[in-house]
Amino acid sequence: MTKPPVGGNRSGRKLGQKVKKGKLKASSRRWLERHINDPYVQRAQLEGYRARAAFKLLEIDEKHKILNGARRIIDLGAAPGSWSQIAAKVTNSTDADPRVAAIDFLEVDPIPGVRILQMDFLDPEAPGKLKEAIGGTPDLVISDMAAPTTGHRQTDHLRTMHLCEVAAYFAVDVLAEGGHFLAKTFQGGTERDLLNMLKQNFRQVIHVKPASSRAESVEMFLLAKGFKGRQKTGSETETEDEAAE
């Protein structure tokens, strides 16, 4: 069971530490203080996860059971790799039998059992390479992708929402029937057309915000559960009918 940190922490580090004034800008100092005093950051270090984001996935799974029975997983926007660490564990993925494929334009240190692609997910070749790397049909597509910030809030918002949309269409293209899709989005920002598309293809579509997602953050996660399966094209239906005759 994933429990939020309470009180202090088990790492031995005291909360409420201050960063000494020096060459750091005030804004940088405040960010660093928040980071080193974040109990989820400290817990991630203690439990061997590469980032506090691990607890977002674990908390979502605790309630919605999206990792249960997953045999193959694709991780989009994987850096630094905490979600892929969890994915490799739940799928029993190994280097000899990899069941997790991950992609990010940033470099990701090797993770046992994970095929890592360093490339932009928007690269036209990326979807095909991910399908090849996973070695089978995934039961779960997870995406923590966010566009590099420009400093213009609306632009950043639109760019990240575009990534969410591309990830959703990719999930519909590759998921096994009954599979799930989880992606980062923003409060009030999911486009109606995208929601309608997901509702047509999945049995349940909801927004979730785990406790480990900072309260001041506008981030949420879009969860689509129970993929209904791809609709057969006319040619595919004709082929099946001919085979049955």
Helical segments of the chain, H only: 26-36, 39-47, 54-64, 82-91, 126-134, 153-174, 192-201, 234-244
Q: Which of 184, 199, 209, 232 is catalytic?
A: 184
Report the candidate in 180, 186, 212, 163 with the shortest Cα–Cα distance to residue 53.
212
Characterize the bridge pairing of strands 140-143 and 180-186: parallel
Residue 94, classed as helix, strand or coil, is coil
Q: What DSSP string runs through 57-80? A: HHHHHHHH--STT---EEEES-TT
Q: Which two tokens stand for residue 231?
A: 């609709």
Q: Which two tokens stand for residue 2?
A: 């994933």
**Gap between the Cα atoms of 150 and 240, Å rounded:** 51
**Gap between the Cα atoms of 13 and 186, Å rounded:** 32
Do residues 206 and 223 lie in contact, with contact meaning Cβ atoms separated by under 8 Å? Answer: yes
Residues contacting residue 14 through CB under 8 Å, at least 6 positions apart: 8
DSSP classification of residue 124: T
Residue 83, classed as helix, strand or coil, is helix
Active-site residue flag, 184: yes
Q: Which residues are catalytic?
A: 184
